[in-house]
Chain A
Amino acid sequence: MGVKSEEGAKITSSASSAGGILFSMRSLKLKTKQQELLIRVSVLCLVYLLAFSVRLFSVLRYESMIHEFDPYFNYRTTLFLTENGFYEFWNWFDYESWYPLGRIVGGTLYPGLMVTAAFIYWTLRFFRFAAHIREVCVLTAPFFAANTTIVAYFFGKEIWDSGAGLVAAALIAICPGYISRSVAGSYDNEGVAIFALLFTFFLFVKAVNTGSLAWSLASAFGYFYMVSAWGGYVFIINLIPLYVLVLLVTGRYSMRLYVAYNCMYILGMLLAMQIRFVGFQHVQSGEHMAAMGVFFLMQMFYFLGWVKHLLNDAKLFQAFLKISVTLAVGVGALALGVGTASGYISPWTGRFYSLLDPTYAKDHIPIIASVSEHQPTAWSSFMFDFHILLLLFPAGLYFCFKRLTDATIFIVMYGLTSMYFAGVMVRLILVAAPAMCLVGAIAISATVKNLASLVRTKSKSQQTSSGKGTGHAKASLKAALGQSLPFQKNVAMALLFGAFYLLSRYVIHCTWVTSEAYSSPSIVLAARGANGGRVIFDDYREAYFWLRQNTPPDAKVMSWWDYGYQITAMGNRTVIVDNNTWNNTHIATVGRAMSSYEDEAYEIMQSLDVDYVLVVFGGVTGYSSDDINKFLWMVRIGGGVFPVIREPDYLVNGEYRVDKGAAPKMLNCLMYKLCYYRFGEMTTEYGKPPGYDRARGVEIGNKDVKLEHLEEAYTTSNWIVRIYKVKPPSNRR
């Protein structure tokens, strides 16, 4: 018994050591198809794990916390949802923000993200995993990014073949354009929305390819999930009709297209109306009218096809065609005109109109123009977010045009439209990322396939040239045409290595960019000290927890709208304005208060019942995204509503300065005083005078700041956040 097991052990050990996987596969007698399946499944599993783990840098470096500003609102609403249930959440009126107006939260948000996270949380709780909702929220985005890679695989398989699908999955797993908004901790709508976007597109293309009602139904539900998740669903509801229109124009009308689009549009529209924030926009808003127009156009096509089938007479049908087309176009234009003129169909909203005319926001809507994410994209952003995909995109388009099917037409259109919008607004690089990955994957897959087949061909050029009989000229011409290139195999091998090198550079680039640029939580700042060690500035959370623990529960805090969500979520105090920016006048009131002299600002603060004022100041640390750098936007927004605030008052010769040569209104406004209170005695840098502002690089002009109506309540350890208490009126002190 013992001898036999010893022998068996020897055989198995020799088997495992002799050849590894291939030997054991041969011994298991796997056919090629099964080998291929094994490779595909293992690649997909690895890509899934890769997509999840590459987004975990900030969790490992700092801790598992929510990043940025908007995710704090999402976290707060998810917390409310898990504590109070869906009905309370759907009908929630939040009196703790936008004091004294309040905010109808249930009707002004996209619930997809919160419901998804709550669903995952309840599932984990059902299986008795005691996870905290914060951990679930932090890891939702990487989880959905990993799911996106699987969807990208199936989409690539649908468009081209499974090889392209695998490459697409691998590319999108680490594409920095996608990682930037789906890193762990970035609990924002886009993390879930890009998954929903790609899923909807995949289901629709599948429906068009198969013509099956089931897939069309699935795509309608995918669209519903997208509508519930993000305001960018407008992209879907405009791209799909555009795609259908292109198919109709290029003569690819078919019953499959008819079934797919009708089912998706009608059901998707009805489902989308269940979201209160969207409401009846699908029939009332100008941005959704393209879908309706194409819907009626499809009916016209079907009707004309049916009439043609009935008539069997070409001339009569031509006449009927002319009449019906003119009638249809006329009725459609009339309806559109009447709808727009009567105001029933609302015009394009500012957010989306500024995509068509990028200069619109600067003149008319300063709030939209002030967000740095809404600026046009510089080339370095493209390079950072896409790297070699930029080189592969035109090549991929070329390959798609070589093999035109309904599916490749879709990916070409998605790629081109999303690239245009990515050029207009930095934030929309995210929407272009899946298209770039898919088109790039097609280029890589086709190129590598060609090169590999070149490497594998046996040389038969000699046989073809000798096999020709009579006609020397003809034979030599044919030989010249049919011959392979010199050193074909070697060059192909070299090119394969070159492709491998480029892809490995892509991986290195993506990992570096993720680690250095996109994994910062923004609420915790880090810098390199003089000795190379890392210095962490946790001032924001320090200030918010001070607020939470040292102020009365009904205190109202006034700050610039950037910090509103964080103050309500972490400080648990009522704020005046927050990141939702739905009321421009309210924000302008706060802007006016910040840019007025202290007496006028005190009157405004009293009218708003403000108890505490919070400002962010980067002069001690050199932090450049502080309120003094944002101050001109406060002036512009305030001046947009209250003409007493004039921007030239704060500038000197058109320049924005805070030193001795600054404008007197600037040196005495509330924001200046609050930021630089007691700063004049502070020495920030060796060899510089006291009061040297490291973020602006100048010595401040007004060092002797006296506050009459406010008193300093708290300044964080690195002076980044400063909180002031508003004193009661002088006859009540």
Chain B
Amino acid sequence: MRSKSDYSSGGAAAAGVATSPASDLGSIDPVLLVLKVLPFSFLRPPRTRLRLPSLILPSPMTHTGPCHRRRPASRLPSRRVNGQYIIEGLSSGFMFVLGGIGIIVMDLALDRNRPKSVRVSFASFGIAAVVISYVMSTLFIRIKIPSYLY
């Protein structure tokens, strides 16, 4: 998946991962050279509005720092946050899929035509997957929105 830095007014996001096919930096990657010619000489890749994460990620606990500023009547109820980092989106998407697969695998464990050991491992994997996925998703949303369920 090609990720491009956003054309935001700030300009440079942190570490650039992939260069666009139009840039002539003389890459030695043969696959890139082939791709430059074959689809991408007449196809224009879309400008995805993906932002690369900064190298220093803020630790989860910095919101509730010790210095409570006095902010009387200022924080109006905030709507949900509409931006996301790439890794954030990928990891939470993975958690959702893991939960779904857990339930599917649990159903496969009920199939009576499989050997018993396979069924036991399916069942335990399924249960573990669902539990992990739900716990992690709740944890993620609590990190992103500190006032969740309070």
Chain A residues within 8 Å of B, Cβ to Cβ:
357-359, 362-363, 372, 375-376, 378-384, 388, 390-395, 398-399, 426, 443, 446-447, 450, 454, 480-483, 485-486, 491, 495, 498, 502, 508-509, 512, 516-517, 520, 525-530, 535, 621-624, 651, 654-656, 686, 694
Whether the Cβ atoms of B103 and A372 lie closer than 8 Å is no
Partner pick for B74 among A481, A483, A527, A654, CB 8 A cutoff: A527
Quick check: is B60 within 8 A (CB to CB) of the other chain? Answer: no
CA distance A689 to B105 in the complex (A): 62
Over the window 93-112 of chain B, the binary record of Cβ atoms lying under 8 Å from chain A Cβ atoms (1 yes, 0 no) is 10011011111101101101
Over the window 107-150 of chain B, the binary record of Cβ atoms lying under 8 Å from chain A Cβ atoms (1 yes, 0 no) is 10110111110011001000100100110010011001100010
Whether the Cβ atoms of A446 and B115 lie closer than 8 Å is no
Can you identify 22 A-B contacts, CB atoms within 8 angstroms? Answer: A362-B49, A376-B49, A378-B83, A379-B88, A379-B89, A381-B80, A391-B102, A391-B130, A394-B100, A395-B107, A450-B107, A480-B116, A481-B112, A481-B113, A481-B116, A485-B109, A495-B127, A517-B80, A527-B77, A530-B70, A622-B74, A654-B11
Whether the Cβ atoms of B81 and A380 lie closer than 8 Å is yes
CB-CB under 8 A from B96, the residues of chain A are 382, 390-391
Whether the Cβ atoms of B84 and A372 lie closer than 8 Å is no
Having A359-B48, A454-B110, one finds 5 other A-B pairs with CB under 8 Å, namely A450-B107, A481-B113, A485-B116, A529-B72, A622-B76
Given the known interface contacts A388-B134, A391-B96, A391-B103, the answer about A362 and B77 at a Cβ–Cβ threshold of 8 Å is no
- How many residues on the B side are at the interface (Cβ–Cβ under 8 A)? 54
CA distance A594 to B72 in the complex (A): 32
CB-CB under 8 A from B104, the residues of chain A are 394-395, 398
Given the known interface contacts A378-B81, A391-B96, A621-B74, the answer about A359 and B47 at a Cβ–Cβ threshold of 8 Å is yes
Quick check: is B82 within 8 A (CB to CB) of the other chain? Answer: yes
CA distance A525 to B108 in the complex (A): 51
Please give me the 9 A-B residue pairs with the lowest Cβ-Cβ distance, nearest first.
Answer: A394-B100, A391-B99, A530-B72, A654-B9, A395-B103, A622-B74, A378-B84, A379-B92, A390-B96
Whether the Cβ atoms of A491 and B123 lie closer than 8 Å is yes
CA distance A527 to B88 in the complex (A): 30
Quick check: is B46 within 8 A (CB to CB) of the other chain? Answer: yes
Quick check: is B10 within 8 A (CB to CB) of the other chain? Answer: yes
Q: What residue of chain B has the Cβ atom nearest to residue A684's Cβ?
A: B74
Quick check: is B2 within 8 A (CB to CB) of the other chain? Answer: no
Quick check: is B61 within 8 A (CB to CB) of the other chain? Answer: no
Whether the Cβ atoms of B149 and A508 lie closer than 8 Å is yes
**A494 to nearest B CB, angstroms?**
9
**B116 to nearest A CB, angstroms?**
6
Whether the Cβ atoms of A527 and B10 lie closer than 8 Å is no
Q: Which of B46-94 contact A (CB under 8 A)?
A: 46-49, 70, 72-77, 79-84, 88-89, 92-93
Whether the Cβ atoms of A391 and B72 lie closer than 8 Å is no
CB-CB under 8 A from B116, the residues of chain A are 480-481, 483, 485
Partner pick for A380 among B74, B84, B134, CB 8 A cutoff: B84
CA distance A530 to B69 in the complex (A): 11
Q: What residue of chain B has the Cβ atom nearest to residue A357's Cβ?
A: B46
Partner pick for A381 among B70, B77, B82, B97, CB 8 A cutoff: B82
CB-CB under 8 A from A656, the residues of chain B are 9
Which of B104, B109, B145 has the most CB atoms of chain A within a 10 A radius of its CB?
B104
CA distance A381 to B93 in the complex (A): 12
CB-CB under 8 A from B127, the residues of chain A are 495, 498
Partner pick for B79 among A394, A502, A508, A517, CB 8 A cutoff: A517
Whether the Cβ atoms of B76 and A623 lie closer than 8 Å is yes
**B4 to nearest A CB, angstroms?**
11
CB-CB under 8 A from A686, the residues of chain B are 70
CB-CB under 8 A from B75, the residues of chain A are 527-528, 622
CA distance A372 to B83 in the complex (A): 11
Whether the Cβ atoms of A502 and B10 lie closer than 8 Å is no
CA distance A554 to B140 in the complex (A): 54
CA distance A129 to B112 in the complex (A): 62
Whether the Cβ atoms of A526 and B77 lie closer than 8 Å is yes
